[in-house]
Structure 1
Amino acid sequence: MGRFDFLYKMDLQHRAVTVYIYLADRANRAGECWPAIPTIARELKLSQSTVRRALQDLRKVELLETEQRYRVKGGKSSLLFRLKKI
């Protein structure tokens, strides 16, 4: 059984599968990572809007939680992505 077999069996758009695998590759042992959306888009050769739709797809099926991170002076930073344990 492969690491992502559960993912391939789900009825997900290709964009969501691609982004999930990307995030899993970047995640630490706790299942967390924080790449910027433009970085994800550039590295996967997708548009930023496609990445945002994929993230929405993953949140909808509860495979992903996101949390806004903030800089010390209060400005927004990249999102914290937390992959759900299956």
Structure 2
Amino acid sequence: MGYFSSLYSSELPHRARAVYMYLHDRADKDGKCYPAIGTIARELKLSRSTVKRAIADLEKSGRLRKEQRWRENGGKSSNLYYLVQPNSG
């Protein structure tokens, strides 16, 4: 079976599936990536709110973990996303 098989058969809304695939496409070999919400929204042609809801869906499902990143001056930067390998069974 392919990597996304459990994603296709999940109860996740299509917005979450699209965002997961986007993040998977940009993740490094450890499953980490850090695109900005605005970048995800622009490239998937979704609203920022829809992307935020999709990320919340993915976190709730256990497929994604996010961590806030900070700049040296103390300001917020983009989130760091960790993709969690879905269970195959």
Instruction: Output the TM-score relative to the length of structure 2.
Output: 0.94
Partner residue, 1:19: 19
Cα distance in structure 1, aligned partners of 2:85 and 2:6: 11
**Deviating runs (4+, > 6 A) in structure 1?**
none
Question: How do residues 6-85 of structure 1 correspond to structure 2 at under 5 angstroms?
Answer: 6-85=6-85
Cα distance in structure 2, aligned partners of 1:4 and 1:12: 12
Give the count of matched residue pairs: 86
How large is the Cα RMSD of the aligned pairs? 0.6
Cα distance in structure 2, aligned partners of 1:46 and 1:85: 24
Structure 2 unmatched runs, 5+: none
How far apart are 1:2 and its partner, in Å? 1.8
1:6-41 CA deviation, whole Å, 9 max, x = no partner? Answer: 100110100000000000000000000000000000
Q: Provide the identity percentage.
A: 58
Bigger proportion of residues as strand: 1
The amino acid of 1:52's aligned partner reads: K
